[in-house]
Structure 1
Amino acid sequence: MTIHTRYNPKSAWIMTALLTGLAMINFLDKIVIGMVAVPLTAELHLSPAEFGFVAGSFFWLFSVSTIVVGFLANRFPTRWILLAMGVSWAVLQLPQAFAGSAVALLACRVVLGAAEGPSFPTSVHAIFKWFPDRHRNVPVAIINQGAAMGMILAGLAIPLITKHWGWRTNFFLLAAIGVVWCVLWLCFGREGTLDGAPRAASAVAASEAEAVDVPDAQRQPYFRLLTDRSILCVFLLCFAAYWLLGQTITWLPTWFEKGLGYGGVAAGRCFALVILAISIGNIGLSWLSQRMLNGGASSRQARVQLICVAMIAAALLLIALAMVDLSAAAKVVLYAVASALPAVCLSVTPALLAEMVPTAQRASMVAINTAVASLGAAISPAVMGRIVQVYGSGTSHAYEIGFAVGAALMIGVSLCALRWLHPARAQHTLKGSAAAVTA
């Protein structure tokens, strides 16, 4: 039975702020391994390929746990699921701080990845209980800004902390930050009840005050959902976006130091600059998508085509990075612009999936999408590590070849999505014709 309730912007934005904080912690946990790569690999005697293997291990169980918790989130309150995640993250920082070998560090990263994997889809499912469909792009983009804030903070603070107190100190600080978030969530975190969205054109104006749910079709077999061409295209787009994300958080600081010749602190500042560009691009393009929707554009125009154009443009810039002779500063700027464009995919695709699949299966489908997509982040660091080892970690071109591989992937999946991703058609098929008035 569908719950009808009133859209409460104040409470919805409070929850957005808390979940943005969780995303910040999530990405601090992810990026710390890349930010301490140089002293860590020196102390533990790791080759580039071995470091890429350890870094990618974070995502080995990421997908499995994401799917499992996604199905649980269909049936249990997200408030308690998210609290359990926050507690586990804080506790798991401590064994990383004491890790004395590559094997020990690898084991820690695998377990932490399993604990952190469900964070984004569970947060999206939680926030969708507070916002109607035409208001969902920006809240998800803002939650993603938590990730950006985490990476900017990492770029500015971790090199300084490492310089003065050693790389292990970062993990103790992350544990403390996690405890603080858990206390705030326990005090203020609540479960939303707004679980539908106004889809009829006549209901758009009313969405500010009242969410009028359109009854979904019966729950669909997962085989039918997972073999739909539109949904498969969403998976591929997110896989490509995560591929670039995995390279960025793992290898970008090392590229700045060993490839472009920056010092540790300067490399951290360059990294923060890149993440700031990603943040601005993400929120700007997500806002543009939402404005297009509210202006009468179809979901295919405002979501699908916008993502694909952004990805293709980013890919061309990354290819240019490998082919054109540029100064170190120019390469940083070019990479910043290129990486800012595909980030919109991670903010817009959850809403895209939510409009196509039955509400009762939304949490699990967003989770499955994240699980499949995160395989890109699991594979790309290892691929980059192998490329860097073959071409030499001290040459900028080695890293740029790795970036070009991701660029080719983005072009391929974008062309597939432009051909086969049709939200209105999938909504009609998977949710019933009553739900397909717009899109």
Structure 2
Amino acid sequence: MSEARGHNKRETRDMYDSPAYQPRRAWTVALLLAAMMLVNFLDKVVTGLVAVPMMKELQLTPSEFGLVGGSLHWLFSISAVVGGFLANRRSTRWLLLGMGAFWALVQLPMLYATSLWTLVACRVLLGVGEGPASPVATHALYKWFPDDRRSLPVALLHSGSAMGLLIAGLMIPWVSTHYGWRSNFAILAVLGLAWCVAWFLLGREGRVGETVPGQAPAERLPYRRLLSDSTVLANYFCHFAANWSLALTLTWVPAYLESGLGLSPMNAGRLFGLFVLVTMPLSLFLAWLSQRLLRAGLPSRVARGVFVSLCLLASGALSISLLADLPVGLRMTYMTLSGGLALVMYSVGPAMLAEVTPSTQRGAILAIGNAFSSLAGLSAPIVTGFLVQRSGGLDGAGYAHGFAVSGVLLLVAGVVGLAWLRPQRSRAQLDRCLVGAG
């Protein structure tokens, strides 16, 4: 065991000292990709933050608005998988540039949309462009960082998402109040194009882990073998549960704060921003802690698998507790802690997948997981919308019931993770398949 651990450390150190690893350029790319995810999440959350004026102007019911919120994910899964397989064979630099430009342009029809199905069409198209964003960006990051350094940069990537939520909570209600809710979509188009310019000038392709000239090409495994591995399957389910929690928060928390708790649009936006301001450093700290445990010599089964499973269990318990009659401050505290704990899955989960997957197939495996988890993004807004409408509106108990559903999923995911997230064992089994194939 100690021999294997020493070998792993030597292998990691050799990779770390390789000329392919360039810390300054790697962190520059990480910051640019975090900025991309910031824009990405502004795009995602905007409908939730303009829910009240949009519903009033267009006379949408809660169920219809839930349909609009969920439509982003209708083709999300398909586009995520297609993008992941493309990322295995094409430059992530150019894939990300094309996606960013598409996001920006597809915002413009929202300036004139007047019917439910026009709104749905715009969000479906946005989902097509954004489906591959997270897995392709993560795959691009892994080309710059060795295995034992990956959790923190991916946490930074998703902290860009959280920063997007923070900026959205402060900016979007203000813009809606002074210039109308549609103006937000023009601003998002400009921000998207600005990121494209920055990425074109500074974005580059990483080389860590690539086969060098003179070496045999990297081996590949049948996808049926990778997709039947217990760690991969458990990882996908845990990601699904975490994404259910996130989709619920993005779609319904702003509307609940405004209509359910009676806050003004500006105060609701500020409180939502405070929610994000706490979850972002919490998720970064948890990702750093997991990485620290791994580098201290703990097996990835503990430093990654058990660690993320315990976070999901705690998140689920906090989410279910929202069924109780709690003061607003305590309710927001529980929602914040639950959200921050679930977010660790977005940084530690992909690192486990990368640990067990050949680098030549990593983009596709990450994308398939993202596609599966996006089904939660499709379902959570609609299920919660049904519960809200059934309970008599945003001031009823439907929202708490929606969080209870999310909590149960998170608890089940935590138990599944404790039982089956075993990346080292999976890596050994898959390595034996490669040897057998050879």
Global fold match (TM > 0.5): yes
**1:396 Cα offset (Å):** 4.8
**1:277 Cα offset (Å):** 1.8
Distance 1:317 1:363 in 2: 33
The superposition leaves residues 199-256 of structure 1 with CA deviations (integer Å, 9 ceiling, x where unpaired) of: xxxxxxxxxxxx9xx9997311111111111110000000000000110100000111
Distance 2:106 2:94 in 1: 18
Instruction: Return the match for 1:94 from 108, 111, 116.
Output: 108
Specify the SS of the correspondent of 1:219.
coil
Does residue 157 (structure 1) correspond to residue 175 (structure 2)? The answer is: no
Aligned residues: 417
The superposition leaves residues 291-330 of structure 1 with CA deviations (integer Å, 9 ceiling, x where unpaired) of: 000111111111111111111111111111112x221222
Question: Are the equivalent residues in 1 in contact too, given 2:283–2:340 (CA < 8 A)?
Answer: yes
Letter in 2 for 1:20: A
1:269-348 alignment to 2 at 5 Å?
A: 269-323=270-324, 325-348=325-348
Distance 1:215 1:95 in 2: 50
Specify the SS of the correspondent of 1:393.
coil
Aligned to 2:89: 75
**1:5 Cα offset (Å):** 3.8
Structure 2-normalised TM-score?
0.92
Distance 1:434 1:276 in 2: 45
**1:41 Cα offset (Å):** 0.7
Letter in 2 for 1:52: G
Distance 1:26 1:217 in 2: 33
Distance 1:333 1:256 in 2: 14
Distance 1:106 1:433 in 2: 45
The superposition leaves residues 2-47 of structure 1 with CA deviations (integer Å, 9 ceiling, x where unpaired) of: x964311000000011101100000000000000000001111111
Instruction: Return the match for 1:173 from 167, 187, 202.
Output: 187
Distance 1:30 1:183 in 2: 21
Aligned to 1:34: 48
Letter in 1 for 2:286: L
Gaps of 5+ in 1: 198-210
The superposition leaves residues 381-401 of structure 1 with CA deviations (integer Å, 9 ceiling, x where unpaired) of: 000000000012232522011
Distance 1:300 1:426 in 2: 10
Aligned to 1:375: 375
Question: Are the equivalent residues in 2 in contact too, given 1:79–1:191 (CA < 8 A)?
Answer: yes
Structure 1-normalised TM-score?
0.92
Gaps of 5+ in 2: 1-14
The superposition leaves residues 406-428 of structure 1 with CA deviations (integer Å, 9 ceiling, x where unpaired) of: 10011112111211221111101
Question: Are the equivalent residues in 1 in contact too, given 2:315–2:337 (CA < 8 A)?
Answer: yes
Aligned to 2:392: 392
**Structure 1, 312-321 or 153-162: larger mean CA deviation:** 312-321
Identity in percent: 44
Letter in 2 for 1:6: A
Letter in 1 for 2:256: W
Letter in 1 for 2:247: G
The superposition leaves residues 30-80 of structure 1 with CA deviations (integer Å, 9 ceiling, x where unpaired) of: 000000000001111111111101110001111100000100110011010
Question: Are the equivalent residues in 2 in contact too, given 1:216–1:431 (CA < 8 A)?
Answer: no
Specify the SS of the correspondent of 2:90.
coil
Q: Could you say what the CA RMSD is over the residues aligned between the two structures, in angstroms?
A: 1.9
